[in-house]
């Protein structure tokens, strides 16, 4: 066995496991994650963009020393991309070679050879059912809301039994089911049937204290005063009417941008010039420019002092 580590034995242990990888979770998230690991249930994380849903799976993989297998969902995702497909070109080549070698007569053998593991291309869901060094892998099914309902129904089957059936080969069942993390940005609702199988957690924006801790962990180069002001400003701007409020990802980007510019504190000019690191829609940027920046900045500075 390699660097595999055992699962956390308490909520506090889960918190520090995540912390050891620079992930600052609140107690509610640590609790549901601890339970998901304990109860061997998939964990469905829904929430705003850039709030650390995908990161959880990555951090868990690193912290537990388990392989991370990622299925990125998108519209039109099919079984050939998610589970397996046959290496058609390879099969054709084998047939040609068999013909050339004059062994095509041994039809049965050729056929069973063509539909053996040798020509099976394993995609993430199938890979996740196979034994991995270090123990059951982390299976990240990312942005599930982007697939269609037919795929979701299929997924439900795979998750329920931790197995898939390949007609030409038979049923492949995981000896130890993978640790499954599903994420969704809620562009559509995930079906109740799938939700019922999972533990659920809504990943919201962090409060100021936690966002500051995240900033310290992820952007340690930012001066303390600047970090505090950045967090206060972001917390304030999230309360505004915006088309797209900044996530933690944007906070980190903005802090890095400010550090690049050698800023030690926020002022109206530098905020205006760097707003594009925080807001990604021109309408939002326009609405926040000018006197609004000054207003938010005053609020932020006051909060940062407090
Ligand atoms: N609690 C946290 N602790 C440490 N880093 C965090 C935390 N939350 C978010 N981040 C950082 O924010 C960035 C975005 O996180 P992530 O990609 O996981 O967001 P997401 O919720 O999956 O977003 P999306 O819905 O857009 O996919 C990452 O760089 C991650 O490290
Ligand atoms: Mg994500």
pLDDT, residue 110, reads 86
Side-chain-facing half-sphere of 126: CA atoms under 13 Å = 20
Compute CA distances 208 → 114, 133, 172, 294, whole Å.
Answer: 59, 40, 47, 20
Is 215 close to ligand 1, i.e. is its CB under 6 Å away? no
pTM score: 0.92
Ligand 2 centre from 142 Cα, in Å?
6
Which residue, 59, 216, 207, is CA-closest to 140? 59
From 18, 23, 30, 51, the mutation candidate for ligand 1 (largest count of ligand atoms within 8 A of CB) is 51
What's the CATH code, domain 11-75+128-202? Answer: 3.40.50.300
Is 53 close to ligand 1, i.e. is its CB under 6 Å away? yes
Q: What would you report as the CA-atom Rg of the chain, rounded to the nearest whole angstrom? A: 24
Ligand 2 centre from 181 Cα, in Å?
11
Q: What is the pLDDT of residues 52-72, one digit of tens each?
A: 999 999 999 999 999 999 999
Q: What is the pLDDT of residues 93-150, one digit of tens each?
A: 999 988 887 765 678 888 888 999 999 999 999 999 999 988 999 999 999 999 998 9
| SS3 sequence of 204-217 | CCCCHHHHHHHHHH
Is 178 close to ligand 1, i.e. is its CB under 6 Å away? no
From 46, 182, 245, 248, the mutation candidate for ligand 1 (largest count of ligand atoms within 8 A of CB) is 248
Q: What are the domain boundaries of the chain?
A: 11-75+128-202, 84-119, 208-305
Is 54 close to ligand 1, i.e. is its CB under 6 Å away? yes
Structure token pair of residue 292: 């609004």
Ligand 1 centre from 39 Cα, in Å?
25
Backbone angles phi, psi at 141, to 5 degrees: -105, 95
Is 251 close to ligand 1, i.e. is its CB under 6 Å away? no
pLDDT band at 157 (very low <50, low <70, confident <90, very high): confident
Is 173 strand, coil or helix? strand
């Amino acid at each position: 066995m390699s660097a595999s580590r055992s699962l956390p034995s308490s909520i506090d242990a889960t918190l520090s496991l995540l912390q050891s990888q620079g992930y600052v979770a609140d107690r509610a998230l640590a609790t549901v994650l601890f339970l998901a690991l304990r109860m061997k249930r998939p964990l469905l994380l829904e929430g705003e963009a850039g709030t650390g849903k995908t990161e959880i799976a990555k951090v868990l993989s690193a912290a537990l020393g388990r392989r991370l297998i990622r299925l990125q969902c998108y519209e039109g995702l099919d079984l050939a991309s998610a589970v397996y497909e046959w290496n058609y070109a390879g099969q054709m080549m084998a047939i040609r070679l068999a013909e050339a070698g004059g062994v095509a007569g041994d039809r049965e053998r050729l056929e069973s050879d063509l539909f053996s593991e040798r020509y099976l291309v394993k995609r993430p869901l199938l890979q996740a059912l196979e034994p991995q060094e270090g123990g059951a892998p982390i299976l990240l099914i990312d942005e599930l809301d982007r697939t269609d309902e037919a795929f979701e129904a299929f997924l439900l089957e795979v998750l329920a039994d931790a197995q898939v059936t390949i007609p030409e080969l038979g049923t492949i069942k995981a000896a130890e089911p993978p640790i499954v993390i599903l994420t969704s940005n809620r562009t559509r609702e995930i079906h109740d049937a799938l939700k019922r199988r999972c533990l659920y957690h809504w990943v919201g924006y962090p409060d100021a204290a936690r966002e500051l801790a995240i900033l310290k962990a992820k952007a340690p180069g930012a001066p303390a005063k600047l970090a505090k002001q950045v967090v206060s400003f972001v917390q304030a701007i999230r309360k505004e009417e915006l088309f797209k409020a900044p996530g933690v990802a944007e906070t980190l980007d903005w802090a890095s941008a400010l550090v690049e510019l050698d800023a030690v504190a926020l002022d109206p000019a530098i905020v205006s010039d760097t707003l594009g690191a925080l807001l990604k829609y021109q309408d939002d940027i326009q609405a926040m420019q000018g006197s609004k920046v000054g207003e938010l900045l005053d609020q932020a500075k006051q909060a940062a002092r407090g």
